[in-house]
Structure 1
Amino acid sequence: MSENGPDGVEALPKRFVDAPAAPLDCRHRLVERARLEWWPADGGDPAALAEDFLAAHGIDLREVSRPAVHDPDGVCGAALYLSAAAGARAAGGSTGAPTPVPALPDLAVVVYGHADQPAAPSGGGRAPGGWWLGDWRDSWTPHAHADAVEAVRAAIGRGDVYQVNVVGHAAAPYAGDPLPALARLAALPGARYGGTLAGLGWAVGCASPETLIALEDGRLVTRPIKGTRPATGAGRRELLASAKERAEHVMIVDLERNDLARVARTGSVRVDELFAVRRWCDLWQAESTVSAAPADGLGLAALLRAVCPGGSVTGAPKLAALDRIAALEPVGRGASMGALGWVGPGRIDLGLTIRTAAADAERLHVWAGGGITWGSDPAAEVAEAAAKAAPVRALLAAA
């Protein structure tokens, strides 16, 4: 685990901050003040460590519903990243296979204050040779992916689980500065949580459309996405008419309702919108909105333990699904299927890291998958994962 206070980060260049969900009015004048990076070998509870570190640096989220005012001259807030493995650990579940990106921490909290002068836009340029991306190498073959789908269907048939999300990984060598390539992901249509976060020897780029957890107008909000079709007229009609997709979706909505109920005021959980069809790149996806009033005294750590890892990328029941994921996926989820966003005084806005890529010193990494139910067709699930990854891969390869 590493921590940097003001003295440790003062020499860093004041670059434009494009962390997902960072306040738009502040991005040009943010400067890093403190940083926490944590790996599982460090021990401890990552959710509690994040809450304590934030409180020690002027962002007190030990009671998320406590009224707070944004200080335009003081601490603005913090970028917060929590991997799926760290979320599973905090929730008491299986953490899965080893990560393919060991340089990437499983928890990163970067606290920002306001600078007197605007920061220079970040444009990369550290490697004068330009940008090159090699061929992608998948962590499993389409046949192995299809076998994992069949294994989940068998587990459902035995009554072990109702639904499990399985995810594949691919990596490609690169040369040049990966940050501009990762930053391009924010331009993908529907990237509600578009942006980047970086540290020594690692970087993450996100184009996620999905809200894992947010605090909006005094209510906790999650927007699970489950159900995908091509973004055509026929695809939209097919998604709306699909009994399989609707059943899968409602199952996850119920899971999210239960997750929020653990940390909500009694009787306050409600489904505000069910199975709304929205577009991400060239895909239609079904999204619902679930909200609740936070229980008195609810802190960030307890909230993260309740909602992480997200139900739409694990399955139901969540802990049993995590066991199946750990048994089936040959490579860890790394930067994907976790949480990335912004927290600040009176503010929480964390996206689920789907449509997300990561860089280490040598390779770019991407992940994609989908939820498996009894009615899943293995070939269709393999094709759906490829369709989700394709826009991300294409934009990363662009010169």
Structure 2
Amino acid sequence: MSIDALAGPGSLPSALLGAAEALPPAAPRDCGAGHHAVGRFEWRVGEPGDPAVLAEEFLAAHGLPVTELNQAADGTWPAGICGAALHFSAAAGAVAVGGPVGKPSPAPVLPDVAVVLYAHTPARPAPQPAAAAQPWQLDGWAASWTPQAHADAVSAVRQTIAAGDVYQVNLVGHAAARYRGDPLPALRRLAALPGARYGGVLTGRGWAIGCASPETLVQVSGGQVVTRPIKGTRPATAAGRAELLASVKERAEHVMIVDLERNDLARVARTGSVRVDELYAVRRWCDLWQAESTVSARLDDGIGLAALLRAVCPGGSVTGAPKLAALGEVARLEPVGRGAAMGALGWLGPAGLDLGLTIRTVAADGDRLHMWAGGGITWGSEPWAEVAEAAAKAAPLRAAVAASGGTADSLGS
């Protein structure tokens, strides 16, 4: 566990240093030249404490109104702080709800919780000396399981479903590729992919997370709490859209997760206020159609950040139902931990809280990029179709980070 006061971009090793701040997902677009980190908290699985409580306490200690999220921002926001980025991993979510954490992360330098406070000030820190320019190079991707192992895991989930232990489990695979050069332009390209509602980059000492997620895990503003689960994927063609709309299997999987999310929100909502505003809308991310619903509620009084994170994390669409039983299957079957993927990443500011679910996410450590992709498994899942779906989700990410990025446009924190 670490808490640091920062004086600007200097917390990264040379391979991840740059002169300009990255914008985290959901940060206001007007956070520009004067936007820089002024404080930081990190926590990793195995360190003491409840990660949700620790994140709330860190923010509250800096004057942010997180112990009562219905509290009006006017007059309560601390002077000098424009907002805070929050990363809360899938493993942190499992710890917070008392579920199994799963295998160790393939990138242990990545924190499971990162909270970064940002300010706008006219005075900028002295720039770091520029490292020698090195062209961007990315080696081939090495997967943590073979396609056959992935297919076998799908079959194992189907057996567990047949036994009546779970209804749905989201399985995720991982791949890593060694790089040379500055990875931050590549992550920035990824964050700009079309449909990336939560496009952005968060960096720390020896790590960086690039997100192109389209999915809202939780949003709180004006007393309302919203989640937008995504389940169901097809190629972004006319035939693919028609197939997604007609698929009984995809719709059943989707509705199951919507029901789970309704139950999650009910834990922090005023009685009787949970509603499904939109069900099974088809929207586009890159070259894929995806089915999305919107579930909302009125946030109950007295709900703080820690209670909210425990209610919605880990996200239902990337765990399964029932959630704790699905986490057990994830821990049993997935080859490595989920690292930066399938968690929460977003922004807390005077306008409210907005966290995306870290699907379509790539992380960098000192020498490798890490990527995760998968999908929900139900009794109707066909193993090799699930393998193909995970590959389709990963393809735009691989293309974005593989493109020649040169050595300019570097980012740091």
| TM band (smaller chain) | over 0.9
Paired amino acid for 1:347 = G
> Match of 1:40, SS?
coil
Q: How does 1:2-41 map to 2 (within 5 A)?
A: 2-5=2-5, 8-9=6-7, 12=10, 15-41=20-46
CA drift of 1:143 comes to 0.4
The answer to whether structure 1 residue 148 and structure 2 residue 148 are counterparts is no
For the residues of structure 1 that align with 2:330 and 2:46, how far apart are their CA atoms?
Answer: 21
Deviations 1:60-89 (A, max 9, x none): 210001000386962111000011000111
Query: Secondary structure at the residue paired with 1:302?
Result: helix
Contact 1:28 1:119 in 2 (8 A): no
The answer (yes or no) to whether the contact 2:134–2:182 under 8 Å persists in 1 is: no
Residue 109 of structure 1: aligned partner:
115
Q: What are the superposed Cα offsets for residues 184-211 of structure 1, whole Å, 9 maximum, x if unpaired?
A: 1121110000010011111100000000
**Aligned position for 1:94:** 100
Identity of aligned residues (%): 69
Spell out the pairing of 1:164-243 with structure 2 (5 A cutoff).
164-243=169-248
AA of the residue aligned to 2:82: C
- Identify the residue that residue 407 of structure 2 maps to in structure 1: none
TM-score (structure 2 length as normaliser): 0.92
Any residues of structure 2 matched to 1:246-257 within 5 Å, and which?
246-257=251-262
Match of 1:81 among 75, 84, 87: 87
1:294 equivalent among 295, 299, 302: 299
Corresponding residue number in structure 1 for 2:166: 161
2:143 is aligned, of 130, 133, 138, to: 138
In structure 2, C-alpha distance between the alignment counterparts of 1:91 and 1:72, rounded to whole Å: 30
Report the 3-state secondary structure (helix = DSSP H, G, I; strand = E; otherwise coil) of the residue aligned with 1:135.
coil
Aligned to 2:312: 307
Tell me if the contact between 1:197 and 1:205 (Cα under 8 Å) persists in the aligned partners. Answer: yes
1:128 alignment partner in structure 2:
133
Mapped contact 2:22–2:203 kept (Cα < 8 A): no
- Give the whole-Å Cα distance in 1 for the aligned partners of 2:98 and 2:33: 39
Q: How many Å apart are 1:114 and its aligned residue? A: 1.4
CA pair 10-198 structure 1, distance change in 2 beyond 3 A = closer
Residues 281 and 119 of structure 1, relative CA distance in 2, 3 Å threshold: farther
CA contact (8 A) 1:80 1:339 kept: yes
CA change 1:127–1:226 in 2 (3 A) is farther
Cα deviation, residue 345, structure 1? 3.5
Q: TM-score, normalised by structure 1?
A: 0.96
**How far, CA to CA, are the matches of 2:125 and 2:71 in structure 1?**
31
Superposed CA deviations along residues 230-283 of structure 1, whole A, max 9, x for unmatched, are 000000000000010000000000000000001111000000000000000000
Do the aligned partners of residues 127 and 206 (structure 1) sit closer, same or farther apart at CA in structure 2, a change above 3 Å counting? farther
Q: Which has the higher mean CA deviation after the structures are superposed, 164-173 or 25-34?
A: 25-34
Larger deviation, residues 336-345 vs 237-246: 336-345
Instruction: Work out whether residues 17 and 28 of structure 1, in 8 Å CA contact, stay in contact via their aligned partners in 2.
Output: no
CA distance in 2 between partners of 1:156 and 1:245 (Å): 16
> Is the 1:169–1:331 contact (alpha carbons within 8 Å) kept by the matching residues of 2?
yes
- In the other structure, the counterpart of 1:368 is 373
Q: Is the contact between residue 69 and residue 346 of structure 1 (CA under 8 Å) also seen in structure 2?
A: no
Q: Distance in 2 between matches of 1:25 and 1:73?
A: 18
Write out per-residue CA displacement over residues 269-318 of structure 1, whole angstroms, 9 at most, x where no aligned residue: 00000000000000000000000111110000000000001000000000
Take 2:9 and 2:362, find their aligned partners in 1: how far apart are those partners?
A: 28
Given residue 7 of structure 2, which amino acid in structure 1 is its aligned partner?
V
One-letter amino acid matched to 2:142: R
Q: Which runs of 5+ in 2 are unaligned?
A: 11-17, 405-413
- Tell me the CA shift for residue 346 of structure 1: 5.0
1:271–1:125 distance in 2 versus 1, CA, 3 Å: farther
Kindly report which structure 2 residues correspond to 1:289-368, keeping only aligned pairs within 5 A, or say none: 289-368=294-373
> 8 Å contact 1:126–1:177 — kept in the other structure?
no
CA distance in 1, matches of 2:19, 2:59: 21
Q: Is the 8 A contact 2:8 2:125 kept in 1?
A: no
Letter in 2 for 1:9: A
Q: Contact between 1:196 and 1:204, CA under 8 Å: does it hold in 2?
A: yes
Which residue of the other structure, out of 385, 391, 395, is the alignment partner of 2:396? Answer: 391
Q: Alpha-carbon deviation of 1:355?
A: 0.3
Distance in 2, Cα, partners of 1:232 & 1:117: 50
Give the Cα separation in 2 of the matches to 1:146 and 1:254.
Answer: 27
Structure 1 gaps, min length 5: none
Which residue is equivalent to 2:15? Answer: none
Count of residue pairs the alignment pairs up: 396
SS of aligned partner of 1:28: coil
